[in-house]
Amino acid sequence: MRGPKPAVLALNAREQRALEELIRQHSTPQQIAMRGRMILAAAQGKNNAHIGRELGVKADTVRCWRMRWIGLQAVSLDDLSVSERLQDTPRSGRPAQITAVQTCQMIALACAQPKERPISHWTGREIADEVMARGIVAQISPRHASRLLKKGISSRI
């Protein structure tokens, strides 16, 4: 065989059973099921390139999930379930400054008829001014207020 051998991945009976159940469930997202198939194939002793060809993914992707699984095997399944092991890690970036509760309050305000203001409908500027005046958020731009409302409305439809 050419190239380095992949790290050995061994599954105990509980992990094997949990992975097989997860893959068979109709409610499992396909991305998670694919990762589970990678782990099961790796446990059978297949190399990354072979698994990648079988599943239609790159060998680097298989290598990444093999190494992540091996790294998380020290944690018990009671503390970290199989589906949690196969989830994406949180991405870096600035945390959200406006909470879900504040967004809901903004949406409720936007759904109400503007009584206190002499306007016929809410604009981004009007809604931003009103949520700051009511103390819902300390500061928000009209553009960001519009984006949050658009995102909130479209995700409920």
pLDDT tens digits for range 46-104: 999 999 999 999 999 999 999 999 999 889 888 999 999 999 988 888 888 888 899 89
Q: What is the DSSP letter of 5?
A: P
Same domain for 25 and 79?
Answer: yes
Same domain for 68 and 107?
Answer: no
- Which tokens sit at 70? 């091996």
Same domain for 107 and 135?
Answer: yes
Q: Which amino acid is at 76?
A: S
pLDDT tens digits for range 11-56: 999 999 999 999 999 999 999 999 999 999 999 999 999 999 999 9
Angle at 121 between CA 143 and CA 146, to 5 degrees: 15
Domain limits at 59?
Answer: 13-85
Q: State yes or no: pLDDT of 107 exceeds 50.
A: yes
Domain count, the chain: 2
Q: Of 124, 118, 156, which is closest to residue 142 (Cα–Cα)?
A: 124
Same domain for 48 and 19?
Answer: yes
Same domain for 81 and 106?
Answer: no
